A and B are shown apart, each in its own frame.
Chain A
Amino acid sequence: MIELKSETKTLICIGSGGVGKTTFAATVAIGKACEGKKVLVLTIDPSLRLAQALGMKPDGEIHDLTTEAMRNKNGKLFACVIQHEKAFHEFIVKASGQKLAAADIEKLTNNKLYKQLSTKLSGSQEFTSLFKLNFYVNSGEYDLVILDTPPAQHTWQFLKAPEKLSQLFNEGVASWFRNPKQTDIGFFKKVLNIGTTQVLKALETLTGADFIKELGLFFSAIQNWQGPLEKQVMDCHRLLASQTTEFALITMLDPSRITECQKISQEIQQEGYQLTTLVINKVPAWFKNKNSRKSEKINRLSSYYEDIEKLLTQSLTSGAGFKNQLKIYKCPEVSQNELHEKNLSEIYLQISKIN
């Protein structure tokens, strides 16, 4: 079982690729719903098996997955698979307020740079999941919203996403490329100071005039929205730093994670985020059963996992820079052939605290 503070409304699961974040997020969601909470779990790209097992549909909508066992405890479970492009569009529409005509939104969404931004900008996927998270947390509909973060090379990509996006909508940048009164031609000349002109010239040398023109068109399309857009971005950032938001860092028994995990958790805490939970995931349940195995291969494997677990828990509990509030859990490996709600709720009960 995972202990959360009573005031906690948001749980964000972070960790590098392959550690089983999505399954873990679903497991905690099921477990908390069985404890009687109204839970929403937001995931990105769940495996087909997991989606089928739980009845998730990849349509960006919320689905009610409440089971009999949850209902008996007055709990509820909802799940949503975030659709990135749909969510980015929702964000733009919401940020623009009611003032904007559909035609204006279309003008923007047809811009080549917008298309690139909404799909390819690193950090934009992280941002849309944060935007959806913020929306659902503020709706007040749920006791707990659990977010499974997008697969990123590094956890920092997720935490820095609001910052990156606010740079994009920063009034200072945007105003460079706009010429409110005239057409796009010659807007360079309207730019006020010499330094700016030189920087733009340098950029033109690097990228070509076409590129600058596209940027100009983009920024004039999002003119007047800077304020609301930035507010949305700020709100998302505030949610990350909120006292009612807890972070769980997921890791697994792999030699490359030992130092990585210790470092990341220290850094996250230093930045002031509430990292309260550390989960060693996918712990093989079998390797404690010492018996008269014949297989040399499996014996080596079992001592290998034991060694890593020892090293990992040592490095985590040795306290080098660790704040003592950090709770460390072990979560058993889930059989992919037995992925269903009932099995996951049993796994949830087997999650054990080791410090």
Chain B
Amino acid sequence: MATQKIHFFTGKGGVGKSLMAASYACMLSEKSDHGPVLLAELTERSFYRDFLGLDNLGYKPILAGKLSKHLSISQWSTNDCLKEYALHLLKIESLYKLFFENAVSKSLIQVAPGLQELAILGKATSSVRKHGPQMPFSEIVIDAFATGHFMNLFRAPKAMSEIISFGPMGEQSRGIDQWLRDANFCHVHIATLAEDLPITETIELYNNLKSEFGITAKVYLNKLLKLNDVDFENLSVDEKKHFSEISENESVSIEKLKSAGIHYQEILFVPEIDRVKLIGQIAGSL
């Protein structure tokens, strides 16, 4: 099997990154030359469970039959990632139980800065680092955190290895950080809307990823209407005002991305309520 690849989806809250991540995973898994694909969400409360009606969605990957035959979905809560990591390191079941069933250590884990981030990234890179349980997927698509929180996630391994230079934690942190900077393995995707705030955040995030990690992120300009002159014919005054504003936002956003030297992919707005159809349509346009 070729080397595993990993894709992180981020962007400002509310721009549709979960939907983009699902569509991207769907698109990958439908390619005939691909092995199995995993879609993982980083959250304590699942989005996909309700959105796709998958009642038994949890840490253990399950098949997302409705979306694609070769796609699995799982929810990576921090605690589950940490448990797996702890069990892998501590080896002894009883010690692990003592550690995790203890109220005090439970709160310590929440408090210890960086530990949660490391657990997540440790899980994401476990196959390539050959550390921890292997994941039998050719590509892993992660619906990750929003902009600020996402940068904190990516910065954690380096920050941790600076604070703690010795011991297993320091060593692993350095390893994880190196894999994040590997352009063949790690890919970052930013979803954005053609609006003022999301575009500003996207440009900043894009530049930070480039300067701090040498990562060139892929940008998706989501929910574009791309209206033309015919669309504006016979509109009421209110409608005209509304849609001119949208059109202007779209061209200003495109201008901003271009002048920042950022390549982007246009994603047209899909007015579809059926969730499976919606993901299928976006996947088709990718």
Contacts of A48 in B (CB 8 A): 196-197
The proximity string for B residues 217-260 relative to A, scoring 1 for CB distances below 8 Å and 0 otherwise, is: 00000000101001111111011011101000100000000000
Flag whether B20 is at the interface (Cβ < 8 A): no
**Bound Cα distance from A121 to B156, whole angstroms:** 11
Return the chain B residue nearest A219 by Cβ.
B111
Flag whether A354 is at the interface (Cβ < 8 A): no
Partner of B236, one of A19, A112, A121, A286: A286
Contacts of A294 in B (CB 8 A): 230-231, 233-234
Partner of B105, one of A17, A203, A256, A304: A203
**Bound Cα distance from A307 to B273, whole angstroms:** 8
Flag whether B164 is at the interface (Cβ < 8 A): yes
Contacts of A311 in B (CB 8 A): 273
- Supposing A199-B98, A203-B105 touch, asked if A211 and B273 sit within 8 A by C-beta, the answer is no
A152, A153, A204, A255 — which one has the most chain B CB atoms within 10 A of its CB?
A: A153
Partner of A153, one of B51, B146, B245, B275: B146
- Name the distance in Å between B99's Cβ and chain A's nearest Cβ: 4
Contacts of A293 in B (CB 8 A): 233-235, 239
- Name the distance in Å between A116's Cβ and chain B's nearest Cβ: 3
Question: Is there an interface contact between B163 and A298, defined as CB atoms closer than 8 Å?
Answer: no
Return the chain B residue nearest A337 by Cβ.
B245
Tally chain B residues at the interface, Cβ within 8 Å: 70
Contacts of B286 in A (CB 8 A): none
Flag whether A27 is at the interface (Cβ < 8 A): no
**Bound Cα distance from A265 to B152, whole angstroms:** 30
Contact residues, A89-105 vs B (CB, 8 A)? none
Question: Is there an interface contact between B271 and A153, defined as CB atoms closer than 8 Å?
Answer: no
Flag whether A151 is at the interface (Cβ < 8 A): yes
Partner of A18, one of B15, B114, B230, B245: B15
Partner of A210, one of B85, B145, B166, B245: B166
**Bound Cα distance from A214 to B114, whole angstroms:** 13
Identify which of A33-41, A170-178, A343-351 touches chain B: A170-178
Flag whether A164 is at the interface (Cβ < 8 A): yes
- Name the distance in Å between A209's Cβ and chain B's nearest Cβ: 6
**Bound Cα distance from A333 to B243, whole angstroms:** 13
Tell me if A's interface is mostly helix, strand, loop or mixed: helix
**Bound Cα distance from A199 to B111, whole angstroms:** 15
The proximity string for A residues 192-218 relative to B, scoring 1 for CB distances below 8 Å and 0 otherwise, is: 000110110011111111110011000
Question: Is there an interface contact between B12 and A17, defined as CB atoms closer than 8 Å?
Answer: yes
Contacts of A335 in B (CB 8 A): 241-242, 245
Return the chain B residue nearest A290 by Cβ.
B236
- Supposing A116-B113, A116-B114, A151-B146 touch, asked if A203 and B104 sit within 8 A by C-beta, the answer is no
Question: Is there an interface contact between A173 and B14, defined as CB atoms closer than 8 Å?
Answer: no
- Name the distance in Å between B47's Cβ and chain A's nearest Cβ: 8
Contacts of B47 in A (CB 8 A): 256
Flag whether A168 is at the interface (Cβ < 8 A): yes
Contacts of A324 in B (CB 8 A): none
Question: Is there an interface contact between A289 and B236, defined as CB atoms closer than 8 Å?
Answer: yes
Return the chain B residue nearest A292 by Cβ.
B234
Question: Is there an interface contact between B102 and A199, defined as CB atoms closer than 8 Å?
Answer: yes
Contacts of A209 in B (CB 8 A): 166-167
**Bound Cα distance from A107 to B158, whole angstroms:** 24
- Supposing A17-B14, A173-B111 touch, asked if A207 and B242 sit within 8 A by C-beta, the answer is no
**Bound Cα distance from A308 to B86, whole angstroms:** 45
Interface size class on chain A is 35 or more
Question: Is there an interface contact between A202 and B242, defined as CB atoms closer than 8 Å?
Answer: no
Question: Is there an interface contact between A17 and B146, defined as CB atoms closer than 8 Å?
Answer: yes
- Supposing A198-B98, A335-B245 touch, asked if A154 and B13 sit within 8 A by C-beta, the answer is no
Question: Is there an interface contact between B111 and A207, defined as CB atoms closer than 8 Å?
Answer: no
Contacts of A182 in B (CB 8 A): none
Return the chain B residue nearest A198 by Cβ.
B98
The proximity string for A residues 152-164 relative to B, scoring 1 for CB distances below 8 Å and 0 otherwise, is: 1110100000001
Question: Is there an interface contact between A215 and B112, defined as CB atoms closer than 8 Å?
Answer: yes
Contact residues, A15-67 vs B (CB, 8 A)? 16-19, 47-49
**Bound Cα distance from A215 to B164, whole angstroms:** 12
Question: Is there an interface contact between B113 and A121, defined as CB atoms closer than 8 Å?
Answer: yes
**Bound Cα distance from A206 to B112, whole angstroms:** 12
Question: Is there an interface contact between B113 and A308, defined as CB atoms closer than 8 Å?
Answer: no
Question: Is there an interface contact between B44 and A211, defined as CB atoms closer than 8 Å?
Answer: no
Q: Could you write out 6 A-B pairs with CB less than 8 Å apart?
A: A121-B113, A154-B45, A167-B111, A199-B98, A293-B234, A295-B231
Additional A-B contact list (14), CB under 8 Å, known A153-B146, A292-B234:
A18-B13, A18-B14, A48-B197, A153-B145, A202-B95, A202-B99, A202-B105, A204-B167, A205-B90, A205-B168, A206-B115, A210-B164, A214-B164, A307-B273
Residues of A within 8 A of B (CB): 16-19, 47-49, 112-113, 116-117, 120-122, 151-154, 156, 164, 167-168, 170, 172-173, 176, 195-196, 198-199, 202-211, 214-215, 255-256, 259-260, 263, 284-286, 289, 291-295, 297-298, 300-301, 303-304, 307-308, 311, 333, 335-337
The list of the 4 closest CB pairs from A to B, nearest first, reads: A18-B14, A17-B13, A208-B167, A116-B113
